[in-house]
Amino acid sequence: MDSFSGKIAVVTGGGTGMGRSLCQALAKAGCHVALCDVVEENMAETRALCEANDGVRISTHLCDVSIESDMIKFQTEVAETHGDSIDLLFNNAGIGGGGGFVAGEREEWEKTFAVCWYGVYYGCRVFLPMLMRSAEAHIVNTSSVNGFWASLGPNVPHTAYAAAKFAVKGFSEALITDLRLNAPHISVSVVMPGH
């Protein structure tokens, strides 16, 4: 993709951090952005920063990426606001935590895993039809260096986050072949940020 100008991007976790920075960079490049997050105030701030760029359409959507029905609602709202196709999908939302499998809280473990893994899976599932309708599309899935190394050191259990980030990496790598065979106009990248 040579230019982002006039394209439509979906960014999960766009309220803060890397997601906010992505939204700002995309808007600066002339890309329309649909972003979701779980905190409305954060999204409003991101939207204001992005709308400083003339001619871009920015929409915000309250959504917990770990809940499939939320993601389906997000996709429906994006289609209503931006049309029936998108060009870019950034599955960026993530949370830390979840800690140990043996001595940690199961609910916290499963929530961390769900946001970090199912957020990517649901994002790809619900937005694939919109990506298919684009002439050229790209998926960017955020993993982590903990998708290479499942450790924060010898004294810190880190199973939920690491397991989810390994899943994102493996899924993204396998998706390269799947897309090449079944939707060659869509490509995929995996991002492995670290500390």
Residue 75 has a pLDDT of 98
Q: How much is the pLDDT for 154?
A: 84
Catalytically active residues, by annotation: 161
pLDDT at 165: 97
pLDDT of residue 175: 98
> Token pair for residue 77?
């709202």
Q: Residue 50's closest CA among 83, 84, 14?
A: 14
Q: Could you tell me whether strands 58-62 and 186-191 are parallel, antiparallel, or unpaired per DSSP bridges?
A: unpaired
3-class DSSP string for the chain: CCCCCCCEEEEECCCCHHHHHHHHHHHHCCCEEEEEECCHHHHHHHHHHHCCCCCCCEEEEECCCCCHHHHHHHHHHHHHHHCCCCCEEEECCCCCCCCCCCCCCHHHHHHHHHHHHHHHHHHHHHHHHHHHCCCCEEEEEECCHHHCCCCCCCCCCCHHHHHHHHHHHHHHHHHHHHHHHHCCCEEEEEECCCC
Residue 50 dihedral angles phi and psi, to the nearest 5°:
-75, -35
Residue 54 in tokens: 């003339």
Q: Are 103 and 155 in contact (CB under 8 A)?
A: no
Give the gyration radius of the chain's Cα atoms.
Answer: 16
The one-letter amino acid at 149: W
Tell me the average confidence (pLDDT) per consecutive run of 10 residues in the chain, 195 residues long. 96 98 98 98 98 96 98 98 98 92 94 98 98 98 94 86 97 98 98 91
